[in-house]
Structure 1
């Protein structure tokens, strides 16, 4: 069982975020994950650092914690060979401390940077499958001439790469991609707050089915979930902190093809706090908070990455180190109270 910290790249400037990652390691977190957005969820005071660059700085300033992307899109603005190059270098410099988390992407990030017409999920999923195949091929072979439906390389070589391939975790929000994640991934990524039926009846069973088809059942595999938490001894503060991430409460229909961060911000600003908070575990009581988190452990997730919405991330990290992580570790196999 591992517990991670979500570095809110869209909310904080890169240097400030680096400080939080260092604090997370000191607080006892096992991992730090960062999203790779070209644009944030809001325009005003928003941030969007390039994840591999930030990860390199953070890895150099820490000693133990594992860093990953949750998630990066290796299919449009970033060609798979560029992703293989970037993460090959990170894996060579920081062995066994890097995870490449990938997904099918969002128009908010891909359209403004490319001017492309945003394709349907079927094509995006096909591109992701091909991209993952190409990335692994570039890491495992010397001269790669690849002729795919979407990507091509000609005698390509990644000269600096790790002795052991960087694990690739695949994100999925539906059953088909969850099955692919189980079949082809070293781990699976999803997000919390969407109802038990999605996780228990759709995502995790399909991950398991994919694992059964993979021929890779003897290899390590993690079921990772990004858990949205707002914990503070002051219940009003715990509730109010969620406002910063109001855009997450927009439905898929409301934000579909919204490619302007300012428009996303406008839509989110209209939402009531009650609707915003529904995506989060909002609590001021440690026992109540841990009980809510335990639900996801009981579902079968074994790598929980906590995303806190508040401005004072140092306070969150300190509170979690003293009040929450010890309780969670006591729940894990071999844990002690």
Structure 2
């Protein structure tokens, strides 16, 4: 089976408030984007100019103002700030209101979002096990009339989600390491990762892990949506295209540099020390539409079928119009439905 390509928009809740984000989502639909994914953070990467609206009510607003786009979280952590049963209830409600249009994207989380709430931040193996168990509980609550569940980390006693959609809300697992990627291949409806890293990470680690997970579960490769958040900065002036990435300099910090930081002020301080070349290193930065298409095509060639574009600039309306008019038609001409 040929899986069609889809092109989405990353609505950056770390950078914009809820009203702006809802407006951007409406414009994305008008400009021909197929999906809108919203990040879910309690705190932003940057203290000055940062935002952190709650993703779940924002998705409700986006759904009410649009009619065709797929919308979801990229990603929500269902293991610390939320009890998995509350996530199950919330996304079941969204699925009833907007059937066939909602995705629950989940991940293991970051210290930035949890530690400031007084929550203990465990090592990666425990975070992974919590994520796996939370997905199991969410799916049980969607499938069964009455659920009693006693896990290692979460439990419910005679729980029912009363308003459930006829069509299951797909669960996508976001991952940048092999263990969670294998989990996505085994049990998830979609896999989310991000661009701009060492190419060998995708070819030698993540995609083999995804295939391994699929094979262990006896699933075909097209059983799962493969979503890549592609970081792009397009502007006719190269200096402007480079400078647009400055707000997102924290993404260029190594995992070791940011692993235990839970204060946006400290994250901002460390990011401010980076030269602009390093701040821009995670992004496709170019003044040439054809270069954007060529570099995006590398991810299609790797097998990613759902490309969600993240622009770092403050003028998101300009990005949506420019990318919708100049880049998406070129991508569709090049790849068609393949």
TM-score, normalized by length of structure 1? 0.97
How far apart are the structure 2 equivalents of 1:214 and 1:166? 20
Q: How do 1:113-192 and structure 2 match up within 5 A?
A: 113=117, 115-192=118-195
5+ residue gaps in structure 1?
none
State the shift of 1:309 in Å. 0.3
Aligned position for 2:6: 2
Query: Paired residue for 2:95?
Result: 91
Q: CA deviation at 1:233?
A: 1.3
SS at structure 2 position matched to 1:146 = strand
> 2:211, 2:221 within 8 Å by CA — same for their partners in 1?
no
State the superposition RMSD in angstroms: 1.1
- For residues 44 and 240 of structure 1, the distance between their equivalents in structure 2, rounded to whole angstroms, comes to 17
Q: Which residue of 1 aligns with 2:269?
A: 266
How many residues were matched structurally? 334
Secondary structure class of the residue paired with 1:41: coil
Name the counterpart of 2:16: 12
Partner secondary structure for residue 37 of structure 2 = strand
Q: State the shift of 1:216 in Å.
A: 4.1
Structure 1 residue 333 displacement after superposition: 4.2
Describe the shift of the 1:84–1:334 C-alpha distance in structure 2 as closer, same or farther (beyond 3 A).
closer
1:28 aligned residue: 32
Query: How much does 1:219 deviate?
Result: 7.3
> Counterpart of 1:291?
294
Kindly state the Cα deviation for residue 116 of structure 1 after the two structures are TM-superposed.
2.0
**Alignment-derived partner of residue 37 in structure 1:** 41
Candidates 51, 57, 64, aligned match of 2:55: 51
Q: Output aligned runs, 1:173-322, within 5 Å.
A: 173-217=176-220, 220-322=223-325
Match of 1:324 among 324, 327, 333: 327
The separation in 1 between residues aligned to 2:324 and 2:258, in whole angstroms, is 35
Of 74, 80, 85, 1:81 maps to 85
Q: How much has 1:155 moved relative to structure 2?
A: 0.3
Q: Cα deviation per residue 1:133-156 (whole Å; 9 max; x = unaligned)?
A: 000000000110000000000100
Distance in 2 separating the partners of 1:38 and 1:72: 10
Q: What TM-score, normalized to structure 2? A: 0.97
- 2-side partners of 1:110 and 1:258: how far apart? 11
Cα offsets for 1:90-115 (capped at 9, x unmatched): 001100000000000001001112x1
> Once the 2 structures are TM-superposed, how far is the Cα of residue 260 of structure 1 from its aligned partner?
0.6
Displacement of 1:164 in angstroms is 1.6
**Secondary structure of residue in 2 paired with 1:321:** helix
Q: Deviations over 1:171-204 (max 9, x none)?
A: 1111121111100110100000111101111111
Task: Decide whether the 8 Å contact of 2:141 with 2:161 is kept in 1.
Answer: yes
Where does 1:59-70 land on structure 2 (aligned, <5 Å)? 59-70=63-74
The yes-or-no answer on 1:106 pairing with 2:110 is yes
